[in-house]
Amino acid sequence: MKYITSLDGKEYLVEILDDRRISVNGQIQEIDFVSVRGQPVHSLIMNGKSYESYVYETEEGLQVLLRGRLYNLTVEDEREKRLRATAGAGAGTSGEFNLKAPMPGLIVSIPVNEGDQVEKGQVLLILESMKMQNELKSPKNGTVARLRVKPGETVEQRQALLSVT
């Protein structure tokens, strides 16, 4: 099975040869990969070197936390890569941003109104959790839409709060 894995704009061609060998950009590497089902902790011994890391799935791809450093990667198989190439590079950045609650908590205040023009970095909402007030900011310029919550409400993790179009 062949994959194209991207890290910091650089693409690596990775082939899973068998249980004990992979090839990265054509170089064969001996591996011993162990993971515990349902847990994001993985142990990899590659050419005798022992690494242990957390690997998290996010909406954008995979995050690898290795020795205190976080790597953001995307992994595609060849078919996906071709499909994406045909469709043209992702039109993602200009799309709609849906603000979801990053954790359960209490809406303290919403300093914006529906229809407001907001700038990248502007505070959209203040959420209190674990006795700390957290400012949730807009990742882009745009217009506030679909405001679904009110100050004083408690929200669940990942609950939709508002959108910026």
Judged by the rule CB under 8 A, the positions of this chain that interact with another protein are 1, 3, 5, 7-8, 10, 12, 14, 16, 22, 24, 29, 31-46, 48-55, 61-71, 73, 75, 77, 102-105, 108, 128-134, 157
Nearer to another protein, 116 or 145 (CB): 116
Least Å from the CB of residue 87 to another protein: 20
d(CA 84, CA 90): 8
Position of tokens 């407001």?
Answer: 116
CA-to-CA separations, 61 to 23, 55, 56, 57, 76, in angstroms, rounded: 21, 10, 9, 6, 10
Residue type, 75: V
Least Å from the CB of residue 17 to another protein: 11
φ, ψ of residue 94 to 5 degrees: the values are: -90, -5
Nearer to another protein, 1 or 89 (CB): 1
DSSP state of 92: G
DSSP line for 52-68: EEEEEE-SSSEEEEETT
Least Å from the CB of residue 150 to another protein: 16
Q: Residue 101: name the closest of 71, 129, 67 by CA.
A: 129
Nearer to another protein, 70 or 160 (CB): 70
Handedness of CA 155, 129, 146, 58 (dihedral sign): negative
Nearer to another protein, 122 or 134 (CB): 134
Least Å from the CB of residue 161 to another protein: 14
Least Å from the CB of residue 108 to another protein: 7
Nearer to another protein, 37 or 91 (CB): 37
